[in-house]
Each structure stands twice: as structure tokens, then as C-alpha cells.
Amino acid sequence: MFSTVLLFREALYGALVIALACSVIGVYVVLRRIVFVGAALAQISSAGIALALWLAGAGLALGGAANPTVVSLLLTLVAVLFFASGTRGRVPPDATIGITYSVAAAVGILLIAKAASGEAHDIFLSGNILGITRRDTLVLLAVTVPVLAIHALFYKELLFVSFDRETARTLGYTVRGWDLLLYLTLGVVIASAMQFAGVMLVFNFLVLPAVTGLLLSHTMRGVFFWSVVSALVAAFVGFSLSVPFDLPSGPAISAVSGVLVMVSWGIRRVLAHG
């Protein structure tokens, strides 16, 4: 079993890097109640991948400018600037997010339906984790390390602005600027992970590990710790089961994440009545 997994160790390393990056950002996504913003950004990122694949199939690719990751990142960053700006007019924020999600999903599906690549549909839905190479993992690390460094360096500021905005404004913090920084790191992580992990797995890593952390800890450092641990465990166990049993890696990892949430909920219940 493990010998089979070792054949795809580069893919496993990539999955672990994605799990690490998303689980840290996901704590903010869950606690700030912007889960649906994360879903919308993931869908926009996937639409960018679909656009790049369609351009390639139509013979309109312009070198690196039509690379799926590049197109995905550009569209995601535009969406990040929009969501972080807070400019919605009379349209409620939830409606704006819903519209963005629906339109991005529809456009992505239409583009992918016309993409020349035979595997484009599968990549669009569930990513291509098994296709991750060492170079891909290094690219993911090149994105993840700076993002984690930013969050470690500005840990107190990001938490303060996220959960006590009025006091932060009173003390002179530029709340919108810190919001933009958080959204930018979220967008960069999502866009980098999307091509390999797909919508479902990225969304899973943004939400379920953070929920596990909230169930297991009463402190913020504990929440981050358990979020990261549960994401890495889910990635390792889910991937290790999917390869020898010929299961889709993304759904297998998501299923393990779900089990960890249920176990954490059970532990929380036992401790509450203990």
C-alpha cells in the first residue's frame, strides 16, 4: 500500500502544501463569516482556468499570458479588489456574492464545455492532484511561504482588525488596508491551489479544518494549530487511501476532513458533559 503511495509522493507533497496554506487562511474565512466569499473566489479562479483552457483550445493562447495559473490569478485578484473594496451600492453583500458565484460557475462550465482538452472537465471540477510534479510543489511553496510569513509577521494586526474593527479604527488602524491584505493572501492561495486541487477540495480546506480547530480549542493559537494539523492529517490519510483503492483523491481527502470534524464535535460534546 505505502509503496504505491510513494510512487505519487510528489503529488502527496503538493497536497500537503495546499492543505497547509488553505488551513491557515481558512481560520479567517470561517471566523469572519466570509465562507461564501471563499467559495465565490474559488469559483472565479476555476473560471479563469476554464478560460485559459478554452483559449488554448481555440488557438488564442499568447504564451505565458494564457497559462491557467496566470489567468486564474488575474481574475481572482480582480475579484479580491472588488470584495475588499466594500463597494456594493444598494445590492446586499450576500446577493453580490451569490451573483458572482453563479455567473462564474456558469461561464466556467460553458467555457470548459468547448475546451479542446479531453481532461479539461475533470480538472475543472476536481483538479489533478495526481499530476502534481516536483516543479509544481516548488511553485506552491513559493506562494505559500511568503503568505505564511505575512500572516506570522502581522498575526496580531490581522486578528485585531478582523474581530474588533471599531476599536482598531479608533486606534488608527487602516481597516480597509488590512482587509485588502487578507483578501489578497486568500486570493493568491486559492488561485495557486485551484489548478491542482479543484473547487471542492480548495473549499474543503478553507472551511473544514478551521471548524475542527474551533471545536477543539478555545484559544486562537489552538484554533490555528488544530486547523493545520487536521488539514495535514486529512490530506495524508485521504491521499494514502485514494491511491491504492483507486479513489478520486479530492473527494477522499474531503471525506476524511468530514470525519475529523465529526470526531472533533464528539470530543467537544464529551468534554462539555465531563
Whole-number Å distance between alpha carbons of 249 and 221: 29
Whole-number Å distance between alpha carbons of 252 and 44: 24
What lies within 8 Å, CB to CB, of 237 at 6+ separation is 256
Nearest CA-CA partner of 201 in 81, 39, 25: 39
Would you state the pLDDT for residue 118? Answer: 47
Q: Give the residues of the chain that fall short of pLDDT 70.
A: 1-6, 57-66, 86-91, 115-127, 274
Alpha helix segments (H runs only) across 86-174: 93-113, 120-126, 134-153, 155-163, 165-170
What residue type is assigned to position 128 of the chain? Answer: N
Would you state the pLDDT for residue 41? Answer: 87
Distance linking the first and last C-alpha atoms of the chain: 39
Would you state the pLDDT for residue 194? Answer: 83
* pTM of structure: 0.86
Whole-number Å distance between alpha carbons of 244 and 146: 34
Would you state the pLDDT for residue 86? Answer: 64
Would you state the pLDDT for residue 185? Answer: 93
Domain 2-272 listed as CATH 1.10.645.10: no
- H or E segment to which residue 208 belongs: helix 175-216
Q: Which residue has the cell 450576500?
A: 94
Would you state the pLDDT for residue 217? Answer: 93
